[in-house]
Amino acid sequence: MKNLSLGLFLLALVNIASCGAITSKGTTISGNIIDAPNMKIYLDKMGLNNSVTIVTETESDANGDFTLKSEETLTPAIYRLRIGAGKLVLILEDAAPTLMIKGSLDGLRTYDVDIKGSDSALDFIQAMNLMSTSKITVDDVKDYIKNTPYPMGGMQMAMNAFGNRPEYYEIHKTASALLTKKYPNHEYSAQYATFAAGLEQMASQGQGSELIQVGMTAPNITLKSPEGKTYSLADLKGKVVLLDFWASWCGPCRKSNPHVVEMYNKYKDRGFTVFSVSLDGIDSRMRERYPDDTQYQAGLEQSKKNWIAAIEKDSLTWPYHVSELAKWDTQAVRQYGVTGIPKTFLINREGKIAAVNPRTTLEEELLKLL
């Protein structure tokens, strides 16, 4: 899922229409991030092409307490609380003049935080928490997009879950229609509608078809593991390999991992293995969010830790875990035409593609090759 990080597309949030805006002057966001003492804290307003406007900033005290004050009322938009490498997306369609947020740095990553003062933020945070902990299915995501009363949250969820995959254009069109209905004059209502229409055109022209087809020789991938060891897909010729594009932030990926683990444990002694390419890390679009190299490096390190933690938590015991830590800029993504994750390719012993995305039929396809 491109972004189950998704990843990830952010929407234009400038010149917000007055519809739904809070009438009182100014907004205060206070709270406590328990493991973030004496740290700079920013409230960003997110824009198209990952442009970022810092709304206000402050510094936490020795206990992690903080108060962010905006002289201007926060109009309906998508915002982000940023503390070091920790980030929390806030859908503020109905924010009160005072908001309260409590949690930890790790909780920001998994959306495991307490928030008061905005039902729209709470609605999105609860859904994202389920996604980050692999407790939500693709159908659940679709239902959320269709049924949430906060279409900005639905729009963001659609981009997180389905990215720019043409086969999901109908979901984007639904989210776009709901957004336009509530915010007909909002600038990114028109922009999102254009995006959804573009996906529909791509689908109609067959541009969503697979770049890599059954019978083709699998392009080689050579990347490093978390420990710095280099692995090449070509070196596994002679084995049946499931090439798996995934990421720690991708809820559907994490949801499908138990089945992959089951198949690996069942058939590894018969010559089956998994080559996992992680799309964790920071791509060029996300790079703009980091104001200096120190924060960028901290973000990379945190992303690597998330990757390692997901491998351990999901019991992905095969040795072939690799990543550029470049998210969607990963060269293998372009080689294989990956536009969303999870994405898998089953490769036979001769190094040729035997199946594309064999999720529900993985065992059946394996038995043909082993």
Residue 330 is assigned to a structural domain of this protein: yes
* pLDDT for residue 14 is more than 50: no
Categorize the per-residue pLDDT at 40 as very low, low, confident or very high, splitting at 50, 70 and 90: very high
Same domain, 148 and 237: no
Choose among 338, 56, 362, 80: nearest CA to 210: 338
Q: CATH number of the domain at 270, please.
A: 3.40.30.10
Same domain, 196 and 141: yes
Same domain, 51 and 189: yes
Categorize the per-residue pLDDT at 238 as very low, low, confident or very high, splitting at 50, 70 and 90: very high
Same domain, 200 and 226: no
Same domain, 60 and 115: yes
Same domain, 236 and 173: no
Q: How far is it, in rounded angstroms, from Cα 119 to Cα 25?
A: 19
Q: List pLDDT tens digits, range 77-90.
A: 999 999 987 889 99
Same domain, 35 and 155: yes
Q: List pLDDT tens digits, range 327-356.
A: 989 999 989 988 888 999 999 999 999 999
Q: List pLDDT tens digits, range 59-111.
A: 999 999 999 999 888 888 999 999 987 889 999 998 678 899 999 998 898 89
User: Domain range for residue 134?
Assistant: 27-204
Residue 334 is assigned to a structural domain of this protein: yes
Residue 14 is assigned to a structural domain of this protein: no
Same domain, 43 and 138: yes
Question: Which of 204, 238, 258 is the last residue in one of the domains?
Answer: 204
Choose among 63, 11, 71: nearest CA to 35: 63
Residue 12 is assigned to a structural domain of this protein: no
Same domain, 105 and 199: yes
Residue 174 burial by Cβ neighbours in a 10 Å radius (0-12, 13-18, 19+):
middle
Higher-pLDDT residue of 9 and 194 is 194
Same domain, 50 and 127: yes
- The single-letter DSSP state of residue 294 is H
Count of structural domains, the chain: 2
* pLDDT for residue 267 is more than 80: yes
Contact 353, 213 (CB under 8 A): yes
Q: What mean pLDDT value characterizes the chain?
A: 86
Question: Which of 171, 204, 237 is the last residue in one of the domains?
Answer: 204
Same domain, 228 and 101: no
Contact 21, 273 (CB under 8 A): no
Same domain, 187 and 126: yes
* pLDDT for residue 320 is more than 90: yes
